[in-house]
Structure 1
Amino acid sequence: MTTFGYRVMELYVTPLRKPDDRVPFTEPQATTGLRSAVLKVIEDASSAGQKDDGKSIYTRISVVKESGWGILLTAQGGDYGERREIFDVESGNPDDPPREIKLSDAVLKDFHILFIIPPYGVSGLMISEVRGRSHLTAPICAMLNSRLRQYGICIRLTSDLVDAQAWSEFLSDEGVGITGVELVQSTRSADRTAFTQENVKSARLQLSLVDGSEVKRRILSAVRAMRDSNKPPKLAGIVGLRGFKDEDFDEQQVITVHDGRQRKIDVTSSWPRFTYPIDTDEPISAREFVEAVISTAKIALDNLNVDLSAQWRPKILD
């Protein structure tokens, strides 16, 4: 069953080849500000899709709506370049011949993306719908940046601040439990301890923890402490793993459960990307997507010190 959610990223703009110099949203002067420039390039991009031959991904924008500070896209994306067949699993009729998907056919899914771009300041938001692990953040940004070059600028994204806040609130919830630890070793060198001397690509060690155990409490405390220090906990030492050090692993993940949903937190370096769940088992409409994300958007904008006006909130009708 597909899980639905969304990611929130701070959006800012810099000149080309100057990633540390933020441009005020009142620019570019060729338009009436960044929001107008982004809306224009989005409308230009919606007339044609874009292929990524390196990753065999095709992306297109099918619907554009705007309201308040918001620009809402319904984008479609999917892969191509592999011959496949379609079969109706509901009917299961073996007499129905499968329909062919050709090498040049892209299998597309809809994704909602909401841009919130204030008329002033240097910080806005890009909120992307996530289905399972799929989202169109990168290809849509690449599509828009190729057209924003005419203004000498490009969109950049960071989620450090908004994700750290989200993880902090998540881990502060007393209903969050720790069920296990996963340690992954995917590179080999002469001075590293290895699970085996055989030639293997990677090895994964999963430890399931006993409810109410001291080690479980230590892990939860260490992960929560990461909110303030932003330093990863040393899980191999905490669980008492013999013969291995934390440096022997390329990934260290804490397995959590909340409201029956399992979630893995990769604590190897800083905070991982946070995905907010949407409580649905079916694709949602554009209006429903905006309603699902808007309260989180307000909190994120407040944390970014964006001065909200009475007209900031996008109101999207289906």
Structure 2
Amino acid sequence: MPLHTIGLLDVSILHNQSDQEVHPSNFGPNQTDFFDEWESYLEHVLRERGVRAGERYFTVERKRARKEARERLCELDYGHFGTRRRVRNAVNGEHVSDIDAGEVPSDPLRLLLRSPVNGTRAFIAHEVVGRASVVGVLAPDLKKWFQKRHNGYRLEIDYVEDADAWNDFLDGSTLRELTFVAHRRADGNRAGRPTTEYYDVRPVRGEALPQNWLRRLRSDGHLPASEVLSIGVDDGDIDETRIVVQKNGRRRTIAIGADWPRFTWEIDPGSNQRPGDQQFYDVARSLIGDLLSRLNIDA
């Protein structure tokens, strides 16, 4: 998995009674602008000295605005606390210090909010480092804070599910693994608990599975296990088919027939270095700009 990627969030505001979406740039009796509310939320986080949820924690490290573009940029420090850890010098192996249970080893994660004047959507591009993402803590806290301030309205935050991005990735990808999953109840299992069996198909090292299988899975949404496996398996027993595809060294896992998994976009393909601010925000602006263009929203 690439070290640094970008995920996209779709932000909308709904009127509780009517369930109608309202314009984030002008809603409620005071004609509130979500562009300004986001700034107020970040200030709230700073006053509260960060947000804690379980063993997860984040705070605002720095922020700035580009009001003419209706953009707000910020960097959040995010991490886990509660487990005593050590810091060692990777050159000589010496024990340098300890991280206390109340301290947080954190990742600096950048975000860009774009809140157009028109339309009923705002978008947030957020940095993901490996699997570290602040969204699981930030989104529920932001919604709770918003609800307290705006009686009669609620904030909805969803991941952008981009089928086009997935199709672009699958074009030119190779099929690296194929797994059929079957859930059964064993005859001798008195409790009647189901058992799960996995049938894995992998290529010879350095090769790929037949490309025709991937084409059939994309076009038909199905590939009979009986045509692939050398052992006798009833196709009716197969409940799920998973594939691992690879493109330009990047692997992704997909469950066929299910909703697309969350897609994250590489910032600097092939690099494990932290991208500079300019590169991160340029890629974030490009992704949000493409999204606004597809939705015919004039920024």
Specify if TM > 0.5: yes
Amino acid corresponding to residue 182 of structure 1 in structure 2? T
- 1:315 aligned residue: none
- Aligned-residue Cα RMSD (Å) equals 3.1
- 1:208 aligned residue: 202
More strand by share: 2
- 1:312 aligned residue: none
Does the residue aligned with 1:294 lie in a helix, a strand or coil?
A: helix
Distance 1:205 1:78, change over 3 A: farther
Equivalent pair of 1:7/1:274 in contact (CA under 8 Å): yes
Answering whether residue 242 of structure 2 is matched by residue 253 of structure 1, we say yes
Distance 1:75 1:15, change over 3 A: farther
- 1:296 aligned residue: 287
> Following the alignment from structure 2 to structure 1, what is the Cα–Cα distance between the partners of residues 225 and 140?
39
Answering whether residue 158 of structure 2 is matched by residue 158 of structure 1, we say yes
Answering whether residue 39 of structure 2 is matched by residue 39 of structure 1, we say yes
The equivalences for 1:101-140 within 5 A come to 101-140=99-138
Does the residue aligned with 1:46 lie in a helix, a strand or coil?
A: helix
- 2:228 aligned residue: 239
Equivalent pair of 1:219/1:238 in contact (CA under 8 Å): no
> Following the alignment from structure 2 to structure 1, what is the Cα–Cα distance between the partners of residues 166 and 112?
22
- 1:13 aligned residue: 13
> Following the alignment from structure 1 to structure 2, what is the Cα–Cα distance between the partners of residues 286 and 17?
42
Q: Following TM superposition, by how much is the alpha carbon of 1:2 offset from its aligned partner in structure 2, in angstroms?
A: 5.9
Structure 2, unaligned runs of 5 or more: none
Equivalent pair of 1:13/1:22 in contact (CA under 8 Å): yes
Answering whether residue 178 of structure 2 is matched by residue 181 of structure 1, we say yes
Equivalent pair of 2:225/2:238 in contact (CA under 8 Å): no
> Following the alignment from structure 1 to structure 2, what is the Cα–Cα distance between the partners of residues 165 and 159?
15
The equivalences for 1:80-91 within 5 A come to 80-91=81-92
Answering whether residue 144 of structure 2 is matched by residue 146 of structure 1, we say yes
> Following the alignment from structure 1 to structure 2, what is the Cα–Cα distance between the partners of residues 5 and 244?
40
> Following the alignment from structure 1 to structure 2, what is the Cα–Cα distance between the partners of residues 218 and 191?
31
Does the residue aligned with 1:81 lie in a helix, a strand or coil?
A: coil
> Following the alignment from structure 1 to structure 2, what is the Cα–Cα distance between the partners of residues 235 and 134?
36
Q: Following TM superposition, by how much is the alpha carbon of 1:262 offset from its aligned partner in structure 2, in angstroms?
A: 2.2
Amino acid corresponding to residue 128 of structure 1 in structure 2? H
- 1:314 aligned residue: none
Answering whether residue 78 of structure 2 is matched by residue 77 of structure 1, we say yes
Structure 1, unaligned runs of 5 or more: 227-231, 309-318
Equivalent pair of 1:28/1:34 in contact (CA under 8 Å): no
Q: Following TM superposition, by how much is the alpha carbon of 1:8 offset from its aligned partner in structure 2, in angstroms?
A: 1.6
Amino acid corresponding to residue 49 of structure 1 in structure 2? G
Distance 1:50 1:247, change over 3 A: farther
Residue-pair matches, total: 284
Q: Following TM superposition, by how much is the alpha carbon of 1:135 offset from its aligned partner in structure 2, in angstroms?
A: 1.1
Q: Following TM superposition, by how much is the alpha carbon of 1:140 offset from its aligned partner in structure 2, in angstroms?
A: 1.6
Q: Following TM superposition, by how much is the alpha carbon of 1:201 offset from its aligned partner in structure 2, in angstroms?
A: 9.0
> Following the alignment from structure 1 to structure 2, what is the Cα–Cα distance between the partners of residues 27 and 179?
49
Q: Following TM superposition, by how much is the alpha carbon of 1:300 offset from its aligned partner in structure 2, in angstroms?
A: 0.9
Amino acid corresponding to residue 177 of structure 1 in structure 2? T
Answering whether residue 185 of structure 2 is matched by residue 190 of structure 1, we say yes
Give the TM-score normalised by the residue count of structure 2: 0.81
Give the TM-score normalised by the residue count of structure 1: 0.77
Does the residue aligned with 1:291 lie in a helix, a strand or coil?
A: helix
Does the residue aligned with 2:21 lie in a helix, a strand or coil?
A: coil
Answering whether residue 58 of structure 2 is matched by residue 59 of structure 1, we say yes
Equivalent pair of 2:50/2:58 in contact (CA under 8 Å): yes
- 1:271 aligned residue: 260
Amino acid corresponding to residue 30 of structure 1 in structure 2? N
Does the residue aligned with 1:109 lie in a helix, a strand or coil?
A: strand
Q: Following TM superposition, by how much is the alpha carbon of 1:167 offset from its aligned partner in structure 2, in angstroms?
A: 0.9
Equivalent pair of 1:42/1:144 in contact (CA under 8 Å): no
Distance 1:235 1:293, change over 3 A: farther
The alignment-based identity, stated in percent, is 18
